[in-house]
Structures are given as C-alpha cells and as structure tokens.
Structure 1
Amino acid sequence: MRDDLLAQLDSWHEEDEFQEIVDAILEIPVEDRDYVLVSHLGRALNNLEDYEAAVEQFLTIAEEGKNDPLWHYRIGLAYYYLDQYEDALREFEISDQLEPGDEDTLEFLESIRSTIAQNLEEELIEPVDSAETVETVVSNVQMDTDLDLANFWDDHEYASKEYVSDPPTDELIASVEEALVFKLPAFYVSMMKVHNGGVPQNRYFPTGQAISGGRDGVMISGILGIGREKSQSLCGAAGSRFMIENGNYPEIGVVICKCPSESEIVMLDYRPAGNDGEPEVVHVDKENNYKITKLAPNFEAFIRGLVKEETQGL
C-alpha cells in the first residue's frame, strides 16, 4: 500500500500534478506522516508557490533532515522565494557542505550572495548620523555614499591567503561570539556573509585632527573576518585575543582591524553599550600610552568613512 502511494506521488510529481500530492498527503493523519511523506508534501507546496506552508512542513522534520542535503535545499528554496535571504543562505551553504558541487545549489548561493551585496549597497546610501566627540570629529569624515561593495575589496594573493575565509554559518558566528564574549554588529556580520574578511581598496579613515605620527587619520591594513582557520580572523592565530593579550591592549571589546604599525589597532568598543549592544569603533595607540580615540559611532559609519589615503584632508 505504502509503495503504491509513493509511486503515485512520484508519478504526480512528474506530471506536475502538485495539488494532487498535497490533497493525498493531507488526507493522512498527521501522526501517520513520516519523513518521506512530509518531504513530498513540502516539495509539492514549493512547486505550488505556497512557500510559507512549505517551510512550516519542513520544520516539522528538521531534526530528521539535519544531515539530508535535499532537506536543506528544499527549505532553502522556500526561504529564497520568501525573500528571507539570510535563512536561505544558511540552508544552501549547509546543503553544499553535505553534497558539494551541486550546480543548482551553487547557482542559488551565487544569486543569494549577489542579492545580499546589492541590499547592503542600498542600505549604505542611507545617511548615518555623525557624532562629535572630544577625541575626534566624525562629522568631518567624508562619507562615500556611493560605496560599491562589489569593488570594496582588494583580493590580492596575501589578502586571500591570510584574511579571506568562506562565508560564516550561523553556528560559526555564534561560536565566535561566545569565544569573544561580545555580540558582533549586524552590519559587520552581513558584510562577512558576503565576503568574510580581507583588505579593502580604501584603507584610510580621516579624523580631521592628528591621531598618531602627525597623521590626521588612521590607516588600516585589513579587516578581520569571522572564523578561526585564517590567521587574520577574529579567533585566528593572530586574531583579536592574540592582539589584546600579546600587545596588552585594553579589554574593551574586539580587535576588528589591523594597522600597518604594530603599535596601533582598531577595535570595537563595547563600553558604552554593553557586550550585546552596538559598539563604537575606536583607535588604540600603544606608543601613546594606549590612547583611545573614537573614530565612528558604529561599524557601518566606519566602513562608509574609509577613503583612499591620497584623498585625506579633502
């Protein structure tokens, strides 16, 4: 009987009779529907473009499906068409890990990452409030409102080798946050899901007054990504904890950017907002008695403020 039903479901699927599949399975009591039947139901609902109902069904078998690349692919598909791109990205990445090289999965991953990057660019067009402080005048920073994230990074060989990791999964993000004891800024996490760490094309943050060595701004050498494998990642061999412990830097948050000078770093400062709040971005000068200079009210404002060094002071 069961074999006949499964054969009929497959036949209906081949004939695009998706409503027949839904009607037949819904006639079966919920407690009698196993993993295979619910998978058929969810797939049919996807094909009928009833994506919310499909997600609801797939979630009822999430525990059984956690190691099934097809389950992650199908629920990822539903999230994708619901415009829930972060959820879709997570599921397609897991599907790709479980079954590497599937062409459809790779196409969705490329599309999702492109969409997230485009959405980030549109967000960057919105103005960000500047904040005047004793240490620096953020309002003097020339914001690049036309920031092109597609060309934001300078992916040369060293950057790719030392900084750039695969996009982080939600599990990795949670693990890194637990190790650091700080919640990472949402804007930073979104950027890292598109391009995880690296060296920006524009690496100078002007401040309008001398910070270190007579310069009226801060030069960075790279942005640490979310991970452990690359040395220049938050929990890597030369990451945030390494820098703080070996450089005796203040325990105020997370080292987010390296600087060309070994006596300077850029940090996320959680003192004003707490470990789970939105951190400020500060410069710490080891040679100047660990002087802390506020650069921007948040990570997004810092990214928007980066310019080419030759344009400083303009």
Structure 2
Amino acid sequence: MMTEQQILKKIDKWNEDDHIQAVVDFIEKLPDESKTTEVLSELGRAYNNLYWLDPTAENEKYLRRAIEVFKYLEEEIGDTESWNYRIGYSYFYLNDIDNARKYLERAPSLSGTQELLHYIALADKKGISLREAVKGGRGEVEYILEDFVETLHQYAPAMQARLGAPATEQQIARFQDHLGFDLPEEFKQLHRTFSGQLGQGPFFGVGQCFLNLEQIEQAQRDIVAFLEANFGANWMEKQLPEDNFMDEGEIKNQLFSRKWLPFMMQEIEGEKSYLCFDFDNDQEGTFGQLIGVTPHKDLEQYEVSFVFPGLFHWLSGTIEGIETGRMAYSEEKNTIEFLSRSFEPAYYEQEEREALEEYIKENFGQFDEVFHELVSDDIHCDIYIVKPTPERNYYTLITGGMGAYQMNIPEGFSGSPFAEMVINLPPDWNVKSEAEKDYWPMRWLKILARLPIEQDTFLAWGHTVPTGEPLEGTLFTCMLLLGTDDKKDEEAIVKLPTGKEVYFYTVVPLYEQEMLYKLENDTTALLELFSEKDIPYPPVVDVNRPNVCQDYAPIQNTGLLDQVYWAFTQEHFPGLMIFWEAVKAYNTDMENRLTNFNPFGTIFKTPKVKIMYEAWIKSKRELHDFEILANEHLLEGEPDANGLYQALIVSELTSGDGASFGALELLWLIHNTLSNKDLGDHIFFEGFDIEGYEEDGTPVLYINCGS
C-alpha cells in the first residue's frame, strides 16, 4: 500500500499538468485507511479545480462537493489558512459573498486570496455579483482598465495626468468605419477609458508611447508607405523567412495587416516598433492577441512576434510591475522606468579583483599578461597567464571573473558557490596563437566559466564536461575538474574582502575511455590509475600522454533505470546536475532509496538511441527537429473535441560524448524531449521496452508512461 507521502507526490504531479479528473478518480478509489486528512483535502481542492477547468452552472456541483469535504475536515484543519482559502474559493464561485469573505479573510498570506477579495470589494462597490466582477465589465477589461488608472493615481499621479482623454462613441464609430470591420469591445473600452497620451515624451522608459485613434491610423499609413517603398506595391505577397518567424500558427506570416492595430509605439534611434492588437490571427492564435511588429527593409531583420495573449494580460503585468516596484516613476525623466531584469551581470568589485590578483601572484606566480574580455553581458572573464619558471615549468592559465557569479549549488553542498578555473600547459605551448590547436584551453576556460550561468547549475571537484568533438590536435573528449593546490600544497581558496570564498579547480582533459571509466566508477578510482601510470601531478596538459584506460569498455546495463521513480512535467532542465537534484528529491519524497543506483553507469553503448512515446499534439510545430510522427498522415484526419491528435512520436537522441549513454543522461534527454508535450494523465515513468535494434546497432525503445 502506498504511503501518504507517495500518494500526495503523485497527486502533485497530476496537478502540475492540470490532470484533475485523474486526481479525483485516484483518491475516490483509494481504500478508506489511505484517505487521510491531507489526501481528502486534496480531493476537495480537486473538486474546486474541476469547476475552474469548466466553470458552467452544471459543474457547480463540484463546488458543493468540495464544501462537503472541507466541512468534514473542519474540526481537524479548520484553523489553517489553506483550509480557509479552499472553502472560501468554493463559496466565492457559488456567488456566496458573505461566506467567501469570511473564510478568505482568514487566509491573508496565501497566493490568490487578495485577488478574490479584490473581486469581492469590487462587487460590493459596484453592486454586482461576483461572477460579473470576475467577467471584468465591458469587453472583459473595463474593471482592470479602471485598476490601471487607479494604480497610476496611487504610484505615479503625474503619469495618470498624461493619459489621453477618452474617445467619444462617435470617434470610435468613425474610426471603425474607416477600418471597414467591426471592432471588439475590448479595443473600444480601452479608448473609452483613455485614448493615447498627452505630450511627446515616452510613457514608459524604453521609448514607448500610447497612440490615440488618429495616431493609430497615421501609424498604419506610415507602415504601409514604408512597405511600399522597400518591397513594392505587392508587399502583401512577401513573407518572413521561416527561420526568423517563430510564431507560425498563432500569427499569420505576413508583413502587415490592416487588422493589426497599434496601440503603443516605441522609437529608439529612429527605428520604430509597434505593439499591436492582432484581429487577423492565425488558426492557433487568439483574437485580440498582442503582437510586436518591427518593420525593416531587410526581411532577415523584420520582426513579427507574439507578446501577450491580450490586453488584460498586458494590464495585469503592468499593474503588478508598478505595485511590486519593478516599474517606477522617474520624476527626472517624467516616465515609468523598468528597474529590473531577469539576470543581472556579475562583476567583481574593485577590492575583490585586487584581492584575487594578489592571491594569484602569491600562490601561482607573477602574471605578465592578461587576456582581457572586451565585451560581456553576464560576467567579465579575463584570463591571467602565469609563465613557466624553474620551480613551475609550465604555463598556468587562470580565469578571473567566474567567481563573481554565485552558482546554483544544491542543498547540502559543502563547497562554495564561487569558483575560478585553472589549466596547466607545457612550457612550449603557444599561448598567443589563435589557431584552434593552441587556443582550445583558453576557449574551454571561458566555456566552463559561463556553463553555470547558461545551465543554471554548478561546477565542482569531480565534475566532467564532454567536449563533443575531440579537441583540436588531440583525442581528448572531456574535461575533468580537480582541486588546485596553493603554494603550501593546501586547497587553493581565496577569501575576498566581501566574505566570498572562491575555490580554484584545475581542468584536466580526458580521453573518452577515461571519462567512461570515471562515470562507471568514480573520480578517485581514475586518479589511482593516473598514479599507477606515473601521470604527473599537478596535471599538465600533455596531448601525447598515455590513455590510462586504453582498453576499457563500459559494462552496458539496460536495467539501470528500473528502480528509479520519475514523473514527466513541462519543466525543462537545462543541465544534467540540476536534473539529478530533482530526481533525488522526487525519489526521496516517494520514499524510494537510490542507494544502489549509479546515475552515470552506462545504459547503452551506442552514440544514439531512438525512443517512441505517445502524446497529444495539435500540429507538427510541437515536434523537435529530431522527431517524426510514426504515422505521417495522422494530421490529415480529424482531431478530437479539444483539437488534439493522439500521436506516436519517434525521437532520435544523441549522447553527449557521442559514444554511449549514462542512465541519468538518458532519462534527462527523454524528459526534456517530452516536456513540451501533453501526455494526458500518463506522466509517470514506468521504464521502457526494447523494441529492437536498427542495422547500425541503435536501440529502439518504447517509453512506458503510467497514470
């Protein structure tokens, strides 16, 4: 029998992908002894969510069932915020304002509470029902437009004063007549609330201005004139190159349409871009979606892209940005500025860099040359070059800048989140050459320095990073990280004035067989072989050194994943080690010990693996470049009621080292391949069947997904 923790973990995974009916069916079929308080609370939540997925009068029965469940649990958990929020949610959508308010006010810190209380206050203020409040008024944006104006009044009153006067009904009707098609209420309500802006300066700090009805018509004329001047009278026949057009199916591939109505314009250094309502959307798009249009005389640089599902989403994001401080009024510029970005560059402070350089001089030697990085938008990674000396007869190259970035280390990691890389080269190495056979050490120091940023992961002792192709002029196909010694033969760690401890790791290139041996065994076992073969330490790159695992062939074990629990979700994992942390956490939650699991053991000794799996798709756009449909005529038939086709998909996966797959690597690649697909409620990994082998030995696997 499953434990409560295992049951709840399974429910969580279904909830993540909105497979709510699967949750209800699962809980209702559980034996009574498994229907604990927590499990029954999830049943009540699932009933609420069934209504949320299809909010019809008929489905209000689910809200009443939810209340029955929560009332049954009141004595045990009625004082918790989650219980109060969930029962308050049920009453809210049953339009019971008094009970909804009573319970929701007891859950002030939970996400979603304030939004529902906002609708309750709105219903009270306007004397309308909760359903009417949620619908949003005219065009479903009337009330959120009022919120936008009120937010400006509270946080940036000077900008509220810059909103243009509302358009009259006559002006809107005349504008509609000029266009020649009926405008939706969403657009009309925007201009009933305010139309354009006062003054010439930008409303938002990146050159963005609101447009009134006259300016919209002028913008359309300007765009058409630009297109005629650059592409001729038949510009309507032009399309964007397929490689540059990323929103096929949602937006029609065209340069412009009279049904694209700009409501904001951005001008930077003479180049104009427009945020437009798209009332000419493609089949998979949404009527009224917001798209960005940047005309350019070169089609390769002409941009048309999806931005927001609609005006409501733009307003919601803008209001949230102002309320949370990500956007704020600048009195100096009389505009609203964007104050944050998703990634801030990480650079050493002056005193930190001085301390780092002093440590390098003291422990590695004087550096006469520094390869400075001229352009960088994440870290500033210089390379310090310490020349050979009689005591250290080799070059030492050291990164300077990687350690300014705090790596995403897992919980319980005993090292530091800050690191720099070191590589030792023989004294006759041409460190000034840009030929790849000489430059690859420099290149790989920079690659490793940015890998934690690009893959949201960390690097530490014993980590290996495949190079893909052999390094130029060598047979090395992998980089191994080892510790670095200081002048006292102790671990090289510099403590900066700001308190950061930066570790130094030495980069050692490996042969393919050495990497496989290390993955199958461990780093210590490989180093013992290095010692037996008298490989010098500290390691100095020797492109002719012996391969200490020359005859090693990894043992293939296709059953390595048999005891691993996993649930496929829509989360994409950029790095293998981040994925490994997620796998360990999931198996811990499922009370499945991975004591005997070797994540890096070889599961297939082939460079490629083909997998087959079932998923629901709308079009071929959801397939990766390395995927095909088993039935190439599938999409010629009729989809189901949701517009989906049940497809058998064939994918060809390639190993990172181009030689074999580790067990964890294979599961990682399978997960990321499936992460953009709808698997229904069959999201749990239940191993694979080997369907056969192709002529070149590539195994063909069928992925079993259970519910």
Q: TM-score range by the shorter chain?
A: 0.3 to 0.5
| Greater RCO (Cα-Cα under 8 Å, separation 6 or more) | 1
Question: Which is richer in helix?
Answer: 1
TM-score (structure 1 length as normaliser): 0.35
Question: Which is richer in strand?
Answer: 2
Larger Rg: 2
